Structure 1
Amino acid sequence: MSNLTGKKIAFAVASEGIEQVELTSPWEAVEEAGGQPVLVSMEKGKVQAFNHLDRGDTFEVDVTFADADADSFDGLVLPGGVANPDALRLDQDAVAFIKSFFASAKPVAAICHAPWSLVEADVVRGRTLTSWPSLQTDLRNAGATWQDKEVVVDGNLVTSRNPDDLPAFNEAALTAFAG
Structure 2
Amino acid sequence: MPAIADARVLIIATDGFEQAELFGPLERLREAGADVTLASLRTDPIQGMVHDEKGRTITPDTLIADVDADDYDALVIPGGVANPDKLRTDEATVALVQAFDDAGKPVAAICHGPWLLVEADMVEDRTVTSWPSLRTDLENAGGEWEDEQVVVDGNIITSRKPDDVPAFNEALIRLIEQGVEED
2:10 aligned partner? 10
1:164 aligned partner? 163
Residue type matched to 2:106 in 1?
Answer: P
1:41 aligned partner? 40
1:126 aligned partner? 125
CA distance in structure 2 between the aligned counterparts of 1:166 and 1:65, rounded to whole angstroms = 23
1:76 aligned partner? 75
Q: What SS class does the counterpart of residue 9 from structure 2 fall into? A: strand
Q: CA deviation at 1:60?
A: 1.0
CA distance in structure 2 between the aligned counterparts of 1:85 and 1:145, rounded to whole angstroms = 20
Instruction: Structure 2: state its 5+ residue gaps.
Output: none
2:87 aligned partner? 88
Q: CA deviation at 1:63?
A: 1.1
Query: What's the TM-score, normalizing by structure 2?
Result: 0.94
1:155 aligned partner? 154
The answer (yes or no) to whether the contact 1:102–1:123 under 8 Å persists in 2 is yes
Identity of aligned residues (%): 51
- Runs of 4 or more consecutive aligned structure 1 residues displaced over 4 Å after TM superposition: none
The answer (yes or no) to whether the contact 1:70–1:97 under 8 Å persists in 2 is yes
Q: What SS class does the counterpart of residue 4 from structure 2 fall into? A: coil
The answer (yes or no) to whether the contact 1:3–1:33 under 8 Å persists in 2 is no
Task: State the aligned residue count.
Answer: 177
Q: CA deviation at 1:46?
A: 1.2
Query: What's the TM-score, normalizing by structure 1?
Result: 0.96
Q: Please, what is the CA RMSD of the aligned residues?
A: 1.1
Superposed CA offset, 1:74-110 (max 9, x none): 0000000000000011111111111110010000111
Instruction: Structure 1: state its 5+ residue gaps.
Output: none
